[in-house]
Amino acid sequence: MRVYAHMPDHGTHTRQASCLIGGTDSTSPYRVHPQRVLENKWVDLGVFNFTGPPTVSLDSDTQDGTGDEDIAWDSVAFQPLSAKPKNFVVAMGDSYSSGEGATEPGGKDYYAESDYYDKAEPKSKNSCHRSKIAWSRQATLPGSSKSIGALADSRDANMDYHFIACSGARTFNILNTGRSGELAQLKQGYLDQNTSLVTLSVGGNDARFTDIITECVLSGIWNCQAESLDNIDPDNGEKTGGDTGGLDEWAPKWLHEQIRPRITATLKTIHDKAPNAEIVLMGYPRLLEDNGSCVLGMEDVEGKWVNSVADILADEMKGAVDDANSQYKAKAVLSDPRGVFTGKAVCGDPESVHGIVISGQAKADNDLPKPSMQSFHPKPAGARLYADSLEKTLKGE
């Protein structure tokens, strides 16, 4: 049966409400969903095989422990299914998975609970920015005539889909502590023995790609690859003192020694929780066409180097997949989108990746004069290219 909890349009605010589904044989019988959906809405908690009387209980004790956000639901529902769904899909990861930038101006395509900000309550901010047209929703699984999103929205009996990616996520936010007030993605409960497919992109924030772009585009420094960044803890991203030294020498070492093993560990943990799932680790495109000739402040040599970092990261991500498979039998595969984005990144034609975005900010976005979080993220057309990459990977192409 499929289980739903009804969220009222007011009085439901917490991002950490845990529902325990009783009477099921799931290895993960609890589910966490942000409650601030801002409408009367049935929220899908998942499909379960019940071996005893079905129950749902809501835990009012959340991990943040602050006690300053309302928690409620007013009803639950059970949808009988004639058979076990064919597909149990969980989409997780960072901004490239959440669909940052894949929206009409103003964040109109973001789910309300993932794009919320109240100046009077700044702690309530959620900028996970999960888009209704993210690539995991646009993609069509082999043998299906409808997209994953269309099947999920129509409550198709053969689809159980959950979307927990969050903009800005590092491997640390998947494994340990979440972002935007949400729990770590693996602590939200959506992976179990029934999960058949996990999609995720992760590694870009660990690789400090935003910091690199900021240094090379927004700082106005020429020959940015010779500059340095502040040292940070590779897990939580907090500054630790000192600096990296020249980026051109630091980046390959950082990606190989710090990021690759963290991606491997993430894939292992996903496999441990969803042992029957195929795991598709989605890579990142080269962000710049013509070495970023259309980007103010980007020199040719800098653009070439920025793209080279994307290539190095792709190699290390492939290595992480190989490590996870050889060491832990993780059933993981890398989907490399660089080919489908060729000619279509920033400065491309058609341009399917945002350059610097300074208008049309979402509700929970950077304040001007800082560029929008959408900057250097795929546009809706770019999300479609990502979906193409996933479809090719699932077909073994």
pLDDT tens for residues 70-114? 887 789 999 999 999 999 999 999 999 999 999 999 999 999 999
Contacting residues for 37 by C-beta, under 8 A, at least 6 apart: 7, 9, 12, 43, 111, 112, 113
- Closest residue by Cα to residue 355 from 238, 199, 218, 263: 218
Instruction: Return the sign of the alpha-carbon dihedral for residues 258, 263, 265, 266.
Output: positive
| 111, 134 Cβ separation under 8 angstroms | no
Residue 21: strand pairing partners: 56
Predicted confidence at residue 74, as pLDDT, reads 82
Using the structure block, give the residue that is written with the tokens 């993960």.
28
Say whether 377 is catalytic: yes
The dihedrals phi and psi of 359, each to the nearest 5 degrees, come to -145, 165
Q: Residue 63: what pLDDT? A: 74
Per-residue model confidence (pLDDT) at position 227:
92
* Active-site annotation holder among 33, 129, 271, 377: 377
- pLDDT of 259 reads 98
CA distance 32 to 21: 11
Catalytic residue among 18, 26, 28, 95: 95
Q: Which domains are delineated in the chain? A: 2-79 (no CATH), 87-394 (3.40.50.1110)
CA dihedral 180, 185, 189, 191 (to 10 degrees): 150
Edge-to-edge strands of the sheet including 2-7?
A: 41-47, 2-7, 75-79
Q: Reply yes or no on whether 95 is catalytic.
A: yes
Q: CA distances (Å), 122 to each of 125, 127, 254, 276, in order? A: 6, 12, 34, 40
Tell me 237's DSSP state.
-
Residue ranges in the chain whose pLDDT is less than 50: none
- According to DSSP, the residues that pair with 75 across neighbouring strands are 6
The confidence score (pLDDT) of residue 12 equals 85
Q: Is 222 helix (H, G, I), strand (E, B) or coil?
A: coil
Question: If you search the block for the tokens 């409620």, which residue do you land on?
Answer: 72
Query: 344 — phi, psi (to 5°)?
Result: -125, 10
